[in-house]
Amino acid sequence: MAFSYWESNAWLEDVDLMVVGAGIVGLSAALHARSLHPAWRIVVVDTDPFGGGGSSRNAGFSCFGSATELQHDRESLGDEAALELVRKRWQGLQRLRSTFGDAALGHRVCGSVELFPTAGSESLPSAQALADLNRWIQPVTGAADTFAKIRARTLPHLGSDLGESAILSRLEGLLDTGKMNRAFKSLAHTQSIDILTGIRVESVDTRKEACQLQISTLSRKATSVDVPRILVATNALGAQLIPQLDVQPAINHVLVTERMNGFDFPHAVHIDAGYVYARPIEDRMLIGGGRHWALDERATLNKLQGLLHELWPVTKETAVAYHWSGQLGVGEMRSPLVQRFAPNAVAAVRLGGMGVAIGMEVGKLAVEELMTN
Ligand SMILES: Cc1cc2nc3c(=O)[nH]c(=O)nc-3n(C[C@H](O)[C@H](O)[C@H](O)COP(=O)(O)OP(=O)(O)OC[C@H]3O[C@@H](n4cnc5c(N)ncnc54)[C@H](O)[C@@H]3O)c2cc1C
């Protein structure tokens, strides 16, 4: 079946900006473009009705990095570039909260703890290393004590196979990922941004003045659409459309338990420099990650569940109620990639594991890059 005249004419013609990908970055970019160009026709397309990428499948951490993760950022990027990256995460989070408000996001600044289980990959930073980290990050957070050592045993429900200390990061928080996605889509609708789901962009041709996209749906044959400018925000799958982008998918698995009567853990949890994460969702516990173990799916799930039972022994009594996976966009560099790949085409991908924090900032930067043409 082909696209009808009406479908093409009403939705796909005379578009000023087409955004590919309706995740945090694509929708933030569309919203930022709208603030600059009130009369533009802005269309966001996505293959998936919920957004198939990380934006609807993440763990809901509103984080800028655990102590050991930031140490790794500093080692790999250098102090200055790593601080710039944290600043973008911090600013992205402030932008997210001020755009939607904490209630609409189900957001609370509950703090996070970094735990150091005996079999974990990281060891507790020394007091001197922690003081240095606090000095380094102070220009971004404004706090002298962003990270503080606490006694792990003061935390409720935890098992015994932990070191003496944990690190509390009191400025981090948690949000409700489902509410966040709804908030983005509702705002986009009020701003007359069309979100067309079920549309797959098969290819992008930027050799002519207009960008030419081949698009299809489950029931319609591919057709070509000409647009004056595009923004590709397909994160992990960016290189499928634009092969020169340094980004690739990395699978993350997530488990959520059944409800546990009386269970109440107060913080988000980082383990192994952020490669493993856990959080409460009301009286359930979520655990996810583990890609650094380089195990297959079954073995990763077993290890995540084993860790969950070891850290929170009460979870041994309960079953797993939800299990899903999602794709992170990663690459050589630990920072997001905003790259112009044609005069009127920009890609914003490689959000890594903290896209909730940095996503709005990246969407804005991508539009600024597109507008400098
Ligand atoms: C399991 C998991 C847990 C995570 N937990 C956290 C967390 O707690 N905190 C945090 O900050 N970050 C977390 N992240 C990372 C964060 O979710 C991502 O970095 C962020 O959502 C990326 O947003 P995005 O808009 O760039 O891409 P995505 O949300 O991945 O959106 C890209 C969209 O492009 C669409 N698309 C792809 N190809 C095409 C095509 N050819 N045509 C049309 N559409 C296409 C996809 O369907 C998708 O909806 C997590 C990620 C995962 C996978």
- 272 domain-assigned: yes
Beta pairing class for 248-257 and 211-216:
unpaired
| CB-CB neighbours of 348 under 10 Å | 30
Q: What is the mean pLDDT of the chain?
A: 96
Asked whether residue 235 falls in the same domain as residue 196, the answer is yes
Asked whether residue 9 falls in the same domain as residue 33, the answer is yes
Asked whether residue 15 falls in the same domain as residue 137, the answer is no
What residue's CA is closest to ligand 1, atom 21? 55
- 99 domain-assigned: no
Asked whether residue 165 falls in the same domain as residue 198, the answer is no
The pLDDT, as a whole number, for residue 334 is 87
The pLDDT, as a whole number, for residue 373 is 63
235 lines ligand 1 (CB under 6 A): yes
357 lines ligand 1 (CB under 6 A): yes
Query: Residue 8 CA to chain centroid, in angstroms?
Result: 32
CA–centroid distance, residue 222 to ligand 1 (Å):
25
Q: Which one of 32, 44, 47, 367 would you pick to mutate in the ligand 1 pocket, going by the greatest count of ligand atoms within 8 A of its CB?
A: 47
Asked whether residue 262 falls in the same domain as residue 227, the answer is no
Q: What is the mean pLDDT of residues 78-83?
A: 96
173 lines ligand 1 (CB under 6 A): no
The pLDDT, as a whole number, for residue 245 is 97
pLDDT tens-digit series, residues 133-183: 999 999 999 999 999 999 998 999 998 778 889 999 999 999 999 999 999
The DSSP H or E segment spanning 301 is helix 297-311
- 79 domain-assigned: no
- 32 domain-assigned: yes
Tally of domains within the chain? 2
Asked whether residue 26 falls in the same domain as residue 154, the answer is no
300 lines ligand 1 (CB under 6 A): no
Asked whether residue 322 falls in the same domain as residue 349, the answer is no
pLDDT tens-digit series, residues 293-332: 999 999 999 999 999 999 999 999 999 999 999 999 999 8
CA–centroid distance, residue 4 to ligand 1 (Å):
31
Asked whether residue 210 falls in the same domain as residue 141, the answer is no
pLDDT tens-digit series, residues 251-276: 999 999 999 999 999 999 999 999 99
Q: How would DSSP label each residue in 14-69?
A: S-SEEEE--SHHHHHHHHHHHHH-TT--EEEEESSSS-SSGGGTS--EE-S--HHH
- Which of 330, 346, 361 represents a domain boundary (last residue)? 330
Q: How many contiguous H segments (helices) and E segments (strands) does the chain have?
A: 10, 19
- 89 domain-assigned: no
What residue's CA is closest to ligand 1, atom 53? 326
Q: What is the mean pLDDT of residues 215-220?
A: 94
Cβ-Cβ contacts under 8 Å for 364 (sequence gap 6 or more): 28, 29, 32, 95
Q: What is the CATH number of the domain that holds 128?
A: 3.30.9.10
Determine the atom of ligand 1 nearest the C-alpha atom of 251. Answer: 53
- pTM to 2 decimals? 0.97
Residue 189 has pLDDT above 70, yes or no: yes
State the residue range of the domain holding 325: 111-171+248-330
CA–centroid distance, residue 218 to ligand 1 (Å):
21
Asked whether residue 224 falls in the same domain as residue 325, the answer is no
The pLDDT, as a whole number, for residue 161 is 74
65 lines ligand 1 (CB under 6 A): no
* Cα Rg, the chain, nearest whole Å: 21
Find where tokens 């005069």 sit.
Answer: 343
Amino acid at 91: Q
Asked whether residue 20 falls in the same domain as residue 140, the answer is no
- 104 domain-assigned: no
pLDDT tens-digit series, residues 222-247: 999 999 999 999 999 999 999 999 99
| C-beta of residue 188 within 8 angstroms of C-beta of residue 21 | no
The pLDDT, as a whole number, for residue 166 is 96
User: What are residue 338's DSSP bridge partners?
Assistant: 348
Residue 50 has pLDDT above 80, yes or no: yes
45 lines ligand 1 (CB under 6 A): yes
CA–centroid distance, residue 317 to ligand 1 (Å):
33
- 347 domain-assigned: yes
Determine the atom of ligand 1 nearest the C-alpha atom of 200. Answer: 42
Q: What is the CATH number of the domain that holds 199?
A: 3.50.50.60
- The edge-to-edge listing of strands for the beta sheet with 17-20 is 194-197, 42-46, 17-20, 230-232, 345-349, 337-342
- 91 domain-assigned: no
Asked whether residue 338 falls in the same domain as residue 228, the answer is yes
21 lines ligand 1 (CB under 6 A): yes
Q: How would DSSP label each residue in 152-185?
A: GGGSTT--S-B-SEEEEETT-EE--HHHHHHHHH
For residue 91, the SS3 value is helix
What residue's CA is closest to ligand 1, atom 44? 46
249 lines ligand 1 (CB under 6 A): no
Asked whether residue 213 falls in the same domain as residue 252, the answer is no
- The four Cα atoms 16, 19, 24, 28 give a dihedral, to 10 degrees, of -20
